C-alpha cells in the first residue's frame, strides 16, 4: 500500500486499513482465534466450511487467470478494510447488481442469540458502485487464499470473475454475489426490518451499526450515491435515538419510584 497504489484516488490514502492492522486478514493465528470465539458461543465444530472446500472454490474460480494480476471488487467492508496487499485501487461499477444487507452473521457482527446482517450482492436493474483492488501477480496465490478464508468462511457467497467498468477502462474482477441457497441468506428484507436488526446486533468484531456507519462514511468520501444505504442509515439513527429516549424514560421513572 504505497502512495502509488492511490494514484487514482488520493482521498483514500489513510482511509484504508493496512493489511498488517486488519483483524479480517485470516492468517492461521486469526482463524484459530475465530474458532475459539465460535466454541465460546456454543457454535458446532463445523461452524465454518472445511479448508479443503474453501480451497477448491478458490482454485476453480482462479483457474483461468494464469500468472496475471487479480482484481477484487469491494462493495462492503472491503472498501475500507480489504485485508490484502494491493498495488492499485480504482473506482469501479458492476452492472445488474445492488448491495443489500441480506446475509445473516452470528460471529462477526452478531451472535447466535442476536444475528446481525452483512452485505451481499443481489441481482437488480441498476448498478453497484464500489472499488476495485489490484493484487500483483506475485502475491495472488497468498493473498487470494487469505481473502477466500475471510469471504467464504461459511460459504455465503458465490465468487466469480465478472466485468467491471472503471474510469481507466474495463477490467475483470473477483466479485462475491449472494449464495441464495445458503441457510443464512435472508433475501431482500424490508428497510424497517433491516434497520431494526442492524441497530441492535453486535458481534466479536464490533456492532452491526458500526459496519453500516463505516460503509456510509466511505461512500460519502467517494461521492457514491446509494439511496438504499442512505435511507437505511437514517432509519438506524432514528431507531437508536428512539431506544435512547426510551431508556432515558425508564431511568427517569426508576428514579421517581426509587425508595
SS3 for 53? helix
Which residue's entry shows cell 493473498?
A: 143
Q: How far is CA 68 from CA 55, 82, 139, 173, 209, in A?
A: 19, 20, 10, 12, 37
Specify the pairing of strand 157-166 against strand 169-178: antiparallel
Joined together, the cell numbers standing for residue 123 give 441481482
The DSSP secondary structure of 148-170, one letter per residue, reads HHHHTSS--EEEEEEEEEETTEE
Separation of alpha carbons 167 and 119, rounded Å: 24
DSSP run (H or E) holding 190: none
Which residue's entry shows cell 446509494?
A: 226
- Using only the alpha carbons of the chain, give its radius of gyration: 19
Separation of alpha carbons 27 and 188, rounded Å: 32
* Residue 55 annotated among the catalytic residues of the structure: no
Separation of alpha carbons 211 and 201, rounded Å: 11
Could you say which of 151, 192, 225, 255 is catalytic?
A: 151
Per the CB < 8 A criterion, the answer to whether 94 and 164 are in contact is yes
Measured between alpha carbons, how far apart are the two ends of the chain, in Å?
61
Joined together, the cell numbers standing for residue 62 give 482462479
Which residue's entry shows cell 457454535?
A: 43
Q: Which residues are catalytic?
A: 151
Amino acid at each position: 500500500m504505497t502512495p502509488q497504489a492511490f494514484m487514482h484516488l488520493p482521498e483514500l490514502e489513510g482511509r484504508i486499513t493496512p493489511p498488517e492492522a486488519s483483524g479480517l486478514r485470516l492468517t492461521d493465528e486469526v482463524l484459530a482465534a475465530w474458532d475459539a470465539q465460535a466454541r465460546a458461543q456454543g457454535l458446532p465444530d463445523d461452524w465454518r466450511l472445511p479448508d479443503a472446500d474453501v480451497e477448491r472454490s478458490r482454485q476453480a474460480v482462479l483457474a483461468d487467470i494464469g500468472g496475471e494480476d487479480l482484481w477484487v471488487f469491494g462493495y462492503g467492508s472491503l472498501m475500507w478494510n480489504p485485508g490484502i496487499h494491493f498495488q492499485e485501487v480504482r473506482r469501479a461499477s458492476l452492472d445488474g447488481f445492488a448491495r443489500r444487507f441480506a446475509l445473516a452473521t452470528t460471529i462477526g457482527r452478531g451472535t447466535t442469540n442476536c444475528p446481525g446482517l452483512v452485505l451481499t450482492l443481489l441481482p437488480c436493474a441498476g448498478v453497484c458502485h464500489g472499488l476495485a483492488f489490484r493484487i500483483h501477480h506475485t502475491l495472488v496465490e497468498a493473498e487470494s487464499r487469505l481473502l477466500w478464508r475471510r469471504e467464504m468462511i461459511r460459504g455465503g457467497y458465490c465468487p466469480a470473475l465478472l466485468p467491471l467498468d472503471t474510469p481507466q477502462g474495463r477490467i475483470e474482477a473477483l466479485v462475491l454475489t449472494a449464495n441464495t441457497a445458503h441457510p443464512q441468506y435472508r433475501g431482500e428484507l424490508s428497510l424497517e426490518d433491516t434497520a431494526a436488526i442492524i441497530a441492535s446486533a453486535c458481534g466479536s468484531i464490533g456492532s452491526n451499526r458500526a459496519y453500516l456507519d463505516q460503509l456510509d462514511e466511505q461512500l460519502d468520501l467517494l461521492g457514491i450515491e446509494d439511496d438504499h444505504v442512505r435511507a437505511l442509515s437514517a432509519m438506524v439513527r432514528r431507531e437508536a435515538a428512539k431506544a435512547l429516549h426510551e431508556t432515558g424514560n425508564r431511568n427517569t421513572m426508576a428514579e421517581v419510584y426509587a425508595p
